Amino acid sequence: MTTNADLMTRLKAVECRDSTYKPKSTPLVFARAKGSVVWDVEGKSYIDLCAGFGALPLGHASEALLAVTREFENAEPMVEHAMGDVYPSEEKILFLETLRSLMPDSYKLGALALSGGQAVEIALKTAMLATKNSGFIVFENAYHGLDFGVLPLTAREDFRVPFKNYLAEDNIVRLPYGASKAIVSQGISKLKSTGLAAIIAEPIQGRAGVNSPPAGWLSMLSDIAHEHSGLLILDEVFTGFGRIGTLSSAGEANADISCFGKAIGGGFPISACFAKKHIMNAWPESSGEAIHTGTFFGHPFSAAVGRRTLLAIKDRDLAQRSKSLGETIKFRLREALKDSPLVKDIRGEGLFIGIEYTSPGFAAVLMDRLRERGVIALPSGATGSVLSITPALNIPEDVLFEAIGHVIEISK
């Protein structure tokens, strides 16, 4: 039988050593998965509290995916790759229409890409075209992706410093997440030579360790951006479409541009930048060649799975389920762990929950212990002190409670 350890050795021989985590004990190679259960190559099962970094709102092998794969058994199957910026696929159009129908009314036009980082890159370019400015306010601990266009916005130095000489960082001012209006104003005044293109913020910081801002903070950012002729970009790549109990935070925040990724593809790569009409119309009309595109942008297969996923989230009100189940889980965790000397805080909204431990790196240790017990969860936060719980939005309650039971046992 092939073992996890054998395959990890083979991976090490063929892959860049930075690309994959190599646990010191009990390695895990995913082989099969259904719903919120994953099986490794040795046949051991795991409860998935990560859901593909939040990209599997309906879990693995969802009915959305099965419906699309069945399409390929037809005599005239759906197209698997159209010619994105030249000849669109029907599925791309349907996907954009569906996404728009689920956004607040004012977000009229979208542009598609493949990853969250690419959606944010489109947002940055859109803000520059719309404002003719090039300065950005970003926040400490923010994560917006690692491609060169968005890397300057991402806070962690270990991601940025090795590539510093290539990065345009002079037009960026980084402020504390949750900074007061006065501090944000001061920050904007430092962008004298570039002007303010946009302030960019996550509704809840995910990779930073599930940090929520003060109530009303996002709409304050919108007001202040507008006072300085700039825009508010919301990065909803992690939080969007149910994760934090709402479909989008853009309306409440009065954002000008909003970015989505992860959940909207139901496990397949597709992302979107949506904006108010006059802002998106800062892009020129395509004269045959788009000035921002990619071979796989708006990929029909991803769009097809994504649209069915979005409709399932809406029809089954999975955002509301996420909200109420999240409350139940936080309550259970708080009750069970209120006397634990290891636990500093339990927080989050919906099925976006963080348990902060008192010692740095401890959540990374727990990740390994959970794996041994058959549960998959990830550490977050700059020092790995937060355990993130981001399961599929349709995870069965008994499965979730079983996994949370393990989390409680090892957190006491």
Ligand X SMILES: Cc1ncc(COP(=O)(O)O)c(C=O)c1O
- Which residues here bind ligand X, judged by CB under 6 A? 53, 115-117, 120, 143-145, 202, 206-207, 235, 237-238, 261
Residue type, 67: A
Nearest to 72 by CA among 311, 309, 307, 300: 300
Minimum Å gap between C-beta 269 and ligand X is 8
Which letter does DSSP use for residue 269 in this model?
-
Q: Report angle CA 386, 309, 406 to the nearest 5 degrees.
A: 30
Q: Residue with the closest Cβ to ligand X?
A: 116
Q: Which is nearer to ligand X, 115 or 246 (CB)?
A: 115
Nearer of residues 117 and 187 to ligand X, judged by Cβ: 117
Q: Which residue number, 111 or 399, has a Cβ lying nearer to ligand X? A: 111
Considering the complex, what minimum distance in angstroms separates the CB of residue 148 from ligand X?
12
Residues with Cβ within 8 Å of residue 248, at least 6 apart in sequence:
102, 103, 104, 107, 236, 240, 241, 258, 260
In terms of phi and psi (left: phi > 0; alpha: psi -120 to 50; beta: otherwise), the region of 44 is beta
Cβ nearer to ligand X, comparing 40 with 235: 235
Q: Which of 317, 408, 314 is nearest to 101 (CA)?
A: 314
Q: Which is nearer to ligand X, 207 or 330 (CB)?
A: 207
The least distance separating ligand X from the CB of residue 212, rounded to whole angstroms, comes to 14
Question: In this complex, which beta carbon is closest to ligand X, that of residue 145 or of residue 326?
Answer: 145
Pairing of strands 196-201, 135-139: parallel
Q: How big is the CA angle at 144 (ends 138 and 148), to the nearest 5 degrees?
A: 95
Least distance to ligand X, CB of residue 324, Å: 24
CB 267 within 8 A of CB 241: no
Q: How far is the CB of 58 from ligand X (least distance, A)?
A: 18
How far apart are CB 409 and ligand X at their closest, in Å? 28
